[in-house]
Amino acid sequence: MRKTFNGSILHPLLTRCAAIVVAVASPLAGFRTAVAAEEAPRPAVSTSPAGSALEAGYLSPPVKVTDGLTKAGEGYFAPDGRHICYQGVPAGYPFYQIYVQPFDAAALRPTTPTRVSPGRGRTTCSWFSPDGTRLLFASSHPDPAIDKTEADAKAQAEEDARTGRRRRYQWDFDPHMDLFTSRLDGSDLQQITDNPGYDAECSWSPDGMSLLFVSDRDGDADIYVADTDGSNVRQLTNAPGYDGGPFFSPDGAWICYRSDRVEKDMLQIHVMKADGSGDTAITAGKGVHWAPYWHPTKPWLIWTGADHSDPTQRPNYDLWVARYEADPATGTFRTGAPLRITDHVGADVLPVFSPDGTLLMWTASRDGERSASQLWVSRPDLDAIERDLPAVPPAGTAEGSR
């Protein structure tokens, strides 16, 4: 099953597990070269100056922490903050693979990654276990037609390189995608799901007792939760349209996610209780809002958003933060107006906070207009953000009724 999203709306990227839109321009040499980038020398530290007074007011100059892969993105911190995991396209291979690399908050720079995924097929959505010993991710390497899948992607990339074509971004809901866990070096690979259809966009609950993931096993992409061995599967959403990119709140009481159930491809941020009740849309309108993520200690949600109300303007994807108030007992969740914290000319997407909340990592192309996406890290000024974040309106008002 292939689900193609409108790239003009979702420029440059759709899923939490998806990749930044940068075409692989070089000819592909086959999957045996998939680890070549891991052996490349580490480049010098690259920083992006604040793009404006707005960014300078909330962020330290972002530092690039991945390099050497064709492109990289959707990164997450280990529980102890000493490693990051992410997906990256290695030289000579058409699909993302999963990597882990050391991370030092005191010396932000690219370090040498280790490939964790098997090295074939599409992979996405890596996530550390709460004890930091295993990695969860989705992979299509069991595809019985993997040779043809790779050959088709190689042929397309070679044709695009020959003609100079840059294709509109799309994310394939690969029907051979299932969930796997392994040790951080890729050993002890264990398959968690084995169900027809796409299973991906996965993470552990904070207590390590449950897996949260997205599946189209019923013909529509919805959010599910299961025990860590893949048993006791429960469906949490069932509205027509795409629901995806879910994450548990730090206390495990809530789940944030994105949905296009109101208007196709126009993603909006939703929050629901951990059992699927109390579903609340916290964004609306003619825009795309996606990749929500919780701050670990403050009542903040961060996400990627862009205004699509003016068809004559190119939407700019930036990072937005909103304050929230939540009451699990009543199932009410309310937010204040969001605060924009980036305005770089390139896309800033897939933001995540470090476990202690002092660092912000996201996917961006800040080395030039047509540069490949990589992971960037900044130290947000938490006091400045706290000062400028609009308050949550009182319950019962028009603004506070969400």
Give tens-digit pLDDT for 362-388. Answer: 999 998 767 889 999 999 999 999 999
Partners of residue 327 on adjacent β-strands: 332
Predicted pLDDT of residue 156: 87
Predicted pLDDT of residue 19: 40
- Intervals of the chain under pLDDT 50: 1-43, 401-402
Predicted pLDDT of residue 35: 32
Residue with tokens 């449950």: 210
The whole domain housing 171 covers 31-388
Count of CA atoms in the C-beta half-sphere (13 A) of 50: 14
C-alpha to C-alpha distance for 177 and 17, rounded to whole angstroms: 12
Predicted pLDDT of residue 46: 74
User: Nearest-CA neighbor of 259 among 225, 212, 223?
Assistant: 223
Give tens-digit pLDDT for 305-326. Answer: 999 999 888 899 999 999 999 9
Q: How many residues does the chain have?
A: 402
Q: Are strands 280-281 and 268-273 parallel, antiparallel or unpaired?
A: antiparallel
C-alpha to C-alpha distance for 325 and 391, rounded to whole angstroms: 10
In a domain, 26, yes or no: no
CATH of the domain at 307: 2.120.10.30
In angstroms, how far is CA 384 from the centroid of its own chain?
Answer: 25
Predicted pLDDT of residue 164: 78
In a domain, 393, yes or no: no
In a domain, 5, yes or no: no
In a domain, 11, yes or no: no
Predicted pLDDT of residue 171: 65
In a domain, 114, yes or no: yes
In a domain, 167, yes or no: yes
Secondary structure of residue 349 in the 3-state scheme: strand
C-alpha to C-alpha distance for 256 and 279, rounded to whole angstroms: 10
C-alpha to C-alpha distance for 342 and 294, rounded to whole angstroms: 17
User: How many domains is the chain built from?
Assistant: 1
In a domain, 140, yes or no: yes
Give tens-digit pLDDT for 184-223. Answer: 999 999 999 998 999 999 999 999 999 999 999 999 999 9
C-alpha to C-alpha distance for 234 and 244, rounded to whole angstroms: 15
Structure tokens at 395: 């319950």
Neighbours of 172 (CB within 10 A): 17
In a domain, 72, yes or no: yes
